[in-house]
Structure 1
Amino acid sequence: MRSHTLGVIEKLKYVRPRRVQVADFEGNRESPSAIDPNRPNVARIFNALLGGKDNYQVDRDVRDRLLERAPALGDLAWDVRSFVGRVTRFLARDAGIHQFLDCAPGLSNDENTHEVAQRLNREATVVYTATDPVVIAHGRALLADNDRTHSVEADFRYPNQVFEHPDVRKYLDLSEPVAVFHVGTVQYVSDTRRPAEIIAGYADRIPSGSYIVLAHAYDPEDGSFTPELREIYQNSSVGLGYFRSRTEILSYLDGLELVEPGLVAVSDWWPDGPRLKEQDPVQRLALGAVARKP
């Protein structure tokens, strides 16, 4: 499947470029209009950090520079990925959710949201949204034979655009609860774009009993996020997002009911077992939470 996906990506390099604005590249960040194997890409770098194969040498070069200066970044990438899996299991198995809207699918190796959800409930419906052409190509190749999982092109920064997309309206019944995933999305949105209002736009459109899943880059404000780490994250060829305080991140979930244990380091959200080794400070730089709409 992975080789098929890369084949699709290779073909898309020759598609006529189309201007797309994505949140991953605001301000002085890149605004990709087509797949360019000569420029690093956030989704592909994350895939490389996970040990995946859906990336190019330019992405691996950035990964290697990051890991040289902060070796635990690979562990943090896996912590985020594992958080998504545990949350999906909770929602599909314990909360009875059978509809999922994932606004940050990325390029994972395995254990995608739809795989975890549909393992527990074969009737679960999952819709992924993206604007990144790399992610879109990957999603369409991966989901070609799955009639309960769909990939749509929509910009998560505009909730109305997402919910009014014909495929979202077709496959998700918004009279029934739905889980919306914002894992590493609004951390790429500057304050001027009002990330709290973006999350509120989703919360306003989903019915009572629905959930918002949030993960965000974290500035602990205790000195552990050193100037060197900040430089690594924010000046790594493509930039890895805005780091915000716990208070700021928590404010994005105002009006919702936090599921225990609340907003915590992603590795601390109902871990599968005891921690076998001490964590590096870098692994504390992402917070995650699940919140229910009353």
Structure 2
Amino acid sequence: MPEEAPAPLGIDATTPNAARMYNYYLGGKDNFAADRAAAEQVLKVAPEARELARQNRAFMRRAIRHVMADAGIRQFIDIGTGLPTEGNVHEIVHAHDPDATIVYVDNDPVVLAHSRAILSRTPHTATLRGDLRQPLDILSTPALRDLIDFSKPVAVLLVAVLHFLTEDDKPGEVIARLRDSLAPGSHLILSHVTADERAHAAQQGAAVYRKASSSITLRNRQQIMDLFEGFELIPPGMVKLHDWRPDEDSAFATYRGRELPTWFFCGVGRIR
């Protein structure tokens, strides 16, 4: 095997990075040895993690298609976007409407560099540096305002990102600030890890992330449901990943012949 290429200047390749670990679960190549080693530790206690990562992406695709087809949404803000992989938000959206707008937001320099490189020639898109803990700073960014018309409905994606906020970060207040800035008819697309079903294994997996770039806060079903306060949950409500309007994208509902454990809850909320 050839030696791994050195990390770009300013990038820490020795500390596991949550976005790069997720990229590894999805079969991507934008990760370093430390990321792969940490991800393999997670896979030892939660061997379904690869399938769950795929399920999470499949839920996101179905949710985007829904809000476009059924709600007419043509503006998207993806916060905590992670490293670009096959089936990015703009690819799903532009397959339906090439004129729809997408803004990606992340605070990870690796994510920003990759995303900007991929989107440099993609119309109606932008990648911005921003921290979910300062939602109003994100929404007031001029580059975002150039693309997003807040007098019209917007879909905000918080897919597998809120569990990286601690209780001290007050995720409910973060979502409330986002919600109160959006027009009626806007939607929230959300997924979040849980320890409801396999608490011990979930805690072991979370311990790996405590040594990575971002720790994980495990929340139960009610705590995740509370994040939808002020939104009307559209059917089927808050459910497992593969139970949200399953279709041909739901091919990874099992692992080694058994139904996937409930590691995630997800849902789509609408502002009346």
- Normalised TM-score (structure 2): 0.91
Name the counterpart of 2:135. 159
The match for 1:87 among 26, 38, 63 is 63
- CA distance in structure 2 between the aligned counterparts of 1:235 and 1:184, rounded to whole angstroms: 17
Contact 1:259-1:290 at 8 Å conserved across structures: yes
- CA distance in structure 2 between the aligned counterparts of 1:203 and 1:83, rounded to whole angstroms: 21
Q: Deviations over 1:201-231 (max 9, x none)?
A: 10000000100111111132xxx32324312
Q: Deviations over 1:79-132 (max 9, x none)?
A: 111111111111122221100000021114210111001100111100001111
Name the counterpart of 1:290. 268
Contact 2:159-2:190 at 8 Å conserved across structures: yes
1:226 aligns with 2:206: no
Structure 1 residues without counterparts, runs of 5 or longer: 1-5, 15-33
- CA distance in structure 1 between the aligned counterparts of 2:223 and 2:215, rounded to whole angstroms: 18
- CA distance in structure 2 between the aligned counterparts of 1:202 and 1:132, rounded to whole angstroms: 21
- CA distance in structure 2 between the aligned counterparts of 1:63 and 1:241, rounded to whole angstroms: 14
Contact 1:52-1:108 at 8 Å conserved across structures: no
The match for 1:278 among 249, 258, 263 is 258
Q: Deviations over 1:12-31 (max 9, x none)?
A: x32xxxxxxxxxxxxxxxxx
Contact 2:158-2:190 at 8 Å conserved across structures: yes
Name the counterpart of 1:147. 123
- CA distance in structure 2 between the aligned counterparts of 1:176 and 1:226, rounded to whole angstroms: 41
Q: What one-letter code is carried by the residue in structure 1 that aligns with 2:233?
A: L
- CA distance in structure 1 between the aligned counterparts of 2:163 and 2:199, rounded to whole angstroms: 18
- CA distance in structure 1 between the aligned counterparts of 2:87 and 2:116, rounded to whole angstroms: 16
1:171 aligns with 2:147: yes
Structure 2 residues without counterparts, runs of 5 or longer: none
> 1:252 offset after TM fit, Å?
1.2
After the TM superposition, list the runs of 4 or more consecutive aligned residues in structure 1 that deviate by more than 6 angstroms: none
**Percent of aligned pairs with the same residue?**
33
> 1:138 offset after TM fit, Å?
1.1
> 1:240 offset after TM fit, Å?
5.1
Name the counterpart of 1:133. 109
- CA distance in structure 1 between the aligned counterparts of 2:198 and 2:168, rounded to whole angstroms: 23
> 1:279 offset after TM fit, Å?
1.8
Name the counterpart of 1:249. 224
Name the counterpart of 2:240. 265
Q: Deviations over 1:253-276 (max 9, x none)?
A: 112111110111112111114756
- CA distance in structure 2 between the aligned counterparts of 1:226 and 1:251, rounded to whole angstroms: 20
Query: Any idea what SS the aligned residue of 1:264 has?
Result: coil
Q: What one-letter code is carried by the residue in structure 1 that aligns with 2:239?
A: V
1:185-204 superposed matches below 5 A: 185-204=161-180
- CA distance in structure 2 between the aligned counterparts of 1:51 and 1:39, rounded to whole angstroms: 20
The match for 2:24 among 40, 48, 51 is 48
Q: What one-letter code is carried by the residue in structure 2 that aligns with 1:106?
A: G
Q: What one-letter code is carried by the residue in structure 2 that aligns with 1:278?
A: R
- CA distance in structure 1 between the aligned counterparts of 2:162 and 2:260, rounded to whole angstroms: 24
Query: Any idea what SS the aligned residue of 1:235 has?
Result: helix
Contact 2:105-2:130 at 8 Å conserved across structures: yes
Q: What one-letter code is carried by the residue in structure 2 that aligns with 1:241?
A: I
The match for 2:12 among 36, 41, 57 is 36
Query: Any idea what SS the aligned residue of 1:36 has?
Result: coil
Query: Any idea what SS the aligned residue of 2:266 has?
Result: strand
Q: What one-letter code is carried by the residue in structure 2 that aligns with 1:113?
A: V
Query: Paired residues, what number?
Result: 262
Using the TM superposition, name which of 259-268 and 272-281 deviates more: 272-281
- CA distance in structure 1 between the aligned counterparts of 2:33 and 2:233, rounded to whole angstroms: 41
Contact 1:257-1:291 at 8 Å conserved across structures: yes
